[in-house]
Structure 1
Amino acid sequence: MNDRVLPVRPAAGGWQSAACRGVDMTTFFPAPGDLATVRRALMICDECPVRIPCRRYALDNRERYGIWGGLTEETRETLIRIGPPPGVSSGSVG
C-alpha cells in the first residue's frame, strides 16, 4: 500500500466510520478494465456503515469518477439518466 489514501472528511452522517478510510485511493479509482480492483472496492463498500449516504452524495453531486457507495461510474450514470423511482424525491436516489 502506498501513502496515497482516500481522504474522508468528518461530516454529518458519520463519514469518520466509512470503511474506505485509510484504504489506498486507487482502490476506488481503478484503472480502466481493472475488474479485480473494482470487485475489491465494491466488497469494501458492501460492508460500509455509510454506504447509503455516500451513494446519495455521489448522485446528488454528480461525481463522475470512482466508486462511491458501492456504485461504479457506469451505474451512477445510468441512475442519473433514468431518474429516481416513482415516489422518491429527486434528492434521494440510491
Structure 2
Amino acid sequence: MNDRVLPVRPAVEGWPAPACRGADMNTFFPAPGDLSTVRRALMICDRCPVRIPCRRYALDNRERYGIWGGLTEETRETLARIGPPSAVSSGSVG
C-alpha cells in the first residue's frame, strides 16, 4: 500500500479544495504508458473546482512532470510549443 498522498492542507482562502486533495500522488505522476492511471487522474481533474488555476500554474511554471489541471505532460509541452490561441493572446473576445 502506498502512503504517498497529496497534502491534505486547507484550501487557499476563498478557493474550494482541489479534487486531488489527499489522493495518491502516483495517480498524478503515473509510470510511462500507464494509460488507466492517466485516465483516472484526468477524471479527477475533470470534476475539480480549481482545474483552471492549476492548469495555469503548470503552464506558467513549465511543470515538466505529472498531470496538472487535466493536462498531461505531452499536452502541456504541445501548448508551450504552439502558444495560446490568437483570441487569447490578443485579448479579443470571439
Task: Give the TM-score taking structure 2 as reference length.
Answer: 0.84
Specify the alignment match of 1:51 in structure 2. Answer: 51
- Highest CA radius of gyration, 1 or 2? 2
| Equivalent residue pairs, number | 89
SS of the residue corresponding to residue 74 of structure 2 reads helix
Distance 1:37 1:65 in 2: 14
Aligned to 2:7: 7
The alpha-carbon deviation at position 3 of structure 1 amounts to 1.5
Listed one character per residue, the Cα deviations across residues 34-57 of structure 1 (whole Å, up to 9, x for unaligned) are 000000000000000000000000
Unmatched 5+ stretches in structure 1: none
Q: CA deviation at 1:13?
A: 6.6
Counterpart of 2:66, as a letter, is: G
SS in 2 for 1:87: helix
Identity %: 84
